[in-house]
């Protein structure tokens, strides 16, 4: 899952981003309204976590614009992170288009749980993906091939989830870098190849993910 974190406090942004990356989320950071606009014009995000008190604008206006501005690519879900704790502020945020509202200071475990809940909601109907003999439970972060449970790391789980959202489609290494890692990832890194190799070993034979020479990789839709 790729997350845009819009937060002007550099210390809080660094701590939250570190924690989210530890959960194998891809995280891009924006410290201002204008930086967030730029990223939302060019990138696709699963969730945007938006602080309201930004130095060059009100994050609430950004939430409103995401609902109807054709220049901005609306994330699948929006989570407001703010110190504004009045009921009127919460109502205004949800009415503006936010899917959830979390007041600072917050516990990171609660943020992670809310993101998992938003992710399940975005994956409706149901929180289980099935492609051929592969099954992925998004709520419990468990995976199976047939009757055999797979022991996947968070990054392997995220990569398999991306493939299972796009069965039969050729996925490039750049696609995986963008959606399983984030904009800080080195485009020349061997990380994609390393993680994919480990994932294939765990999936076993016959290999459900095939290589399309010179193009990328493909998850077979039938076993």
Domain boundaries, the chain: 2-122, 128-219
Q: Are 97 and 90 in contact (CB under 8 A)?
A: no
**Average of pLDDT values for 146-157?**
90
Cα separation, 106 vs 156, in Å, equals 28
Q: Are 223 and 132 in contact (CB under 8 A)?
A: yes
* Residue 6 pLDDT grade (very low, low, confident, very high; cuts 50, 70, 90): very high
* Residue 78 pLDDT grade (very low, low, confident, very high; cuts 50, 70, 90): very high
Q: Which CATH number fits domain 2-122: 2.30.290.10, 3.30.160.70, 3.40.50.2300, 3.30.1360.30?
A: 3.40.50.2300
**Residue 202: predicted pLDDT:** 95
Most distant CA pair in the chain, distance:
56
**Average of pLDDT values for 180-188?**
59
- Mark out the alpha helices in 23-97 (DSSP H runs): 33-42, 59-68, 87-96
Q: Are 178 and 42 in contact (CB under 8 A)?
A: no
For 9-65, what is each residue's pLDDT tens digit?
A: 999 999 999 999 888 788 999 999 999 999 999 888 889 999 999 999 999 999 999
pLDDT at 173 over 80: yes
Cα separation, 181 vs 6, in Å, equals 17
**Residue 108: predicted pLDDT:** 94
**Residue 148: predicted pLDDT:** 95
CATH dotted code for 128-219 = 1.10.10.10
Predicted TM-score of the model (pTM): 0.66
pLDDT at 198 over 90: yes
pLDDT at 141 over 60: yes
Q: How many CB atoms lie within 10 A of CB 193?
A: 11
**Residue 223: predicted pLDDT:** 64
């Amino acid at each position: 899952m790729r997350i845009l974190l819009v937060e002007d406090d550099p210390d809080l942004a660094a701590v939250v981003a570190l924690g989210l990356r530890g959960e194998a989320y891809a995280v891009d950071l924006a410290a201002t309204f204008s930086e967030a606009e730029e990223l939302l014009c060019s990138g696709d995000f699963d969730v945007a976590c938006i602080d309201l008190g930004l130095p060059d604008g009100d994050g609430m206006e950004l939430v409103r614009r995401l609902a109807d501005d054709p220049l901005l690519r609306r994330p699948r879900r929006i989570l407001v992170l703010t110190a504004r704790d009045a009921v009127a502020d919460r109502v205004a945020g949800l009415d503006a288009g936010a899917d959830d509202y979390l007041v600072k200071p917050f516990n990171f475990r609660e943020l992670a749980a809310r993101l998992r809940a938003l992710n399940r909601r975005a994956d409706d109907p149901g929180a289980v993906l099935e492609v051929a003999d592969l099954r992925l439970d998004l709520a419990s972060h468990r995976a199976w091939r047939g009757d055999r449970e797979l022991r996947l790391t968070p990054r392997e789980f995220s990569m398999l989830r991306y493939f299972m959202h796009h069965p039969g489609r050729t996925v490039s290494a750049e696609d995986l870098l963008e959606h399983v890692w984030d904009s800080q990832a080195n485009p020349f890194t061997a990380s994609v190849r390393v993680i994919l190799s480990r994932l294939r070993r765990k999936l076993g034979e016959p290999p459900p993910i095939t290589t399309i020479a010179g193009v990328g990789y493909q998850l077979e839709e039938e076993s």
